[in-house]
């Protein structure tokens, strides 16, 4: 099939006819001076007179093959729809703490700003020493069960979400100490439970190219009583987490 492209003259005539039809349909526009098609403002200036002329200008630009200007106001609805923030339930892993540990964590948002969080983490601390033919080793294990409230600061839009969190923690600690020397060996073990609290401030990052994924970094302060001599639980700590949100 042979396709013939319209000449520039035919396109300009079609544009004039489209404007003339719209002007004839509106008496208020009939008295307006004709637009100069060679002027860059032929359609931009005239389009502001009325919605009818604006529609005619857009139709003429479409015939002429000119791109239509994007509306002002900071982006269209499609761009804004790409903004995503964590909502609903997020499941993931957490690492860090007052002693380096790894565990599972969950966050459930009940509104744009308020959510609940939970954490189960395990810490393992070991030490050994020897002197004068006697050696000693100690192993401590701490299981942390924490729950609290998280509050999102600032605007809920964007990809960086600062937050504050606070809650209570239950620590289940166990210890094992072994002493050997001069042909003898002796070991003891013990366990303890302690309750404490924590406060955290951090940032949660989301990604437009990976919806439902969020990465967070935080700095917190943990407080509780010392379960055993030689084991310090609490203080300032850095942490990080990765969560996958189900919605």
pLDDT tens track for 156-208: 778 999 999 999 999 998 988 888 887 788 888 888 899 999 999 999 999 98
Alpha helical stretches, state H, 77-232:
77-81
Q: Would you say 195 and 224 are in contact if contact means Cβ atoms under 8 Å apart?
A: yes
Average pLDDT of the chain is 76
CA 182 – CA 184 distance, rounded (Å): 6
Q: How far apart are CA 218 and CA 197, in angstroms?
A: 16
* φ/ψ (deg, to 5) at 94: -130, 145
Name which residue leads in pLDDT, 230 or 236: 236
Task: Quote the tokens at residue 182.
Answer: 């001069």
The enclosing H or E element of 33 equals none
Say what the pLDDT of residue 81 is.
45
Q: Using an 8 Å Cβ cutoff, are 141 and 122 in contact?
A: yes
Give the pLDDT confidence score for residue 5 in this predicted structure: 53
pLDDT at 25 over 60: no
Q: Where is pLDDT greater, at 90 or 135?
A: 90
- Give residue for tokens 């008295």: 31
CA angle 66, 72, 77 (to 5 degrees): 95
Q: 54 pairs with which residues across the strands?
A: none
What is the mean predicted confidence (pLDDT) over 105-131? 90
- Pair of tokens at residue 153: 């600061």
Rg (CA), the chain: 35
Q: What is the DSSP letter of 228?
A: B
Q: Tell me the CA distances in angstroms from 24 to 21, 47, 129, 183, one per residue in order.
A: 5, 16, 100, 113
CATH number of 81-245: 2.40.160.20
What pTM, to 2 d.p., does this model score? 0.61
Q: What share of the chain in percent tops pLDDT 90?
A: 34
In this prediction, residue 115 carries a pLDDT of: 96
CA distance 22 to 57: 10
Domain boundaries, the chain: 8-72, 81-245
pLDDT at 101: 86
Distance in angstroms (rounded) separating the CA atoms of residues 157 and 159: 7
Q: Is the separation of the CB atoms in 150 and 165 below 8 Å?
A: yes
Does residue 155 register a pLDDT over 60? yes
Exposure on the CB side of residue 184, measured as CA atoms within 13 A: 3
Residue 114 has pLDDT above 70, yes or no: yes
């Amino acid at each position: 099939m042979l396709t013939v492209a319209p000449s520039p003259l035919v396109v300009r005539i079609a544009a004039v006819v489209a404007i003339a039809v719209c002007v004839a349909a509106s008496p208020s526009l009939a008295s307006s001076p004709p637009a100069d098609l060679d002027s860059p403002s032929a359609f931009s200036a005239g389009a502001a007179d009325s919605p009818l002329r604006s529609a005619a200008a857009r139709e003429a630009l479409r015939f002429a093959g000119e791109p239509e200007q994007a509306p002002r106001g900071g982006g269209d609805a499609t761009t804004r729809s790409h903004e995503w923030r964590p909502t609903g339930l997020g499941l993931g892993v957490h690492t860090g703490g007052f002693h380096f540990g790894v565990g599972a964590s969950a966050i459930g948002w009940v509104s744009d700003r308020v959510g609940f969080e939970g954490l189960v983490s395990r810490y393992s601390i070991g030490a050994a020493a020897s002197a004068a033919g006697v050696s000693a080793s100690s192993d401590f294990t701490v299981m942390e069960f924490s729950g609290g409230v998280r509050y999102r600061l600032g605007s809920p839009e964007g990809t960086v979400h600062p937050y504050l969190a606070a809650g209570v923690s239950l620590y289940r600690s166990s210890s094992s100490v072994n002493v050997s020397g001069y042909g003898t060996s002796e070991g003891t073990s013990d366990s303890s439970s302690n309750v404490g609290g924590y406060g955290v401030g951090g940032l949660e990052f989301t990604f437009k190219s990976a919806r439902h994924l969020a990465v967070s970094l935080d700095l917190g302060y943990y407080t509780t009583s010392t379960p055993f001599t030689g084991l310090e639980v609490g203080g300032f700590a850095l942490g990080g987490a990765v969560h996958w949100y189900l919605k």
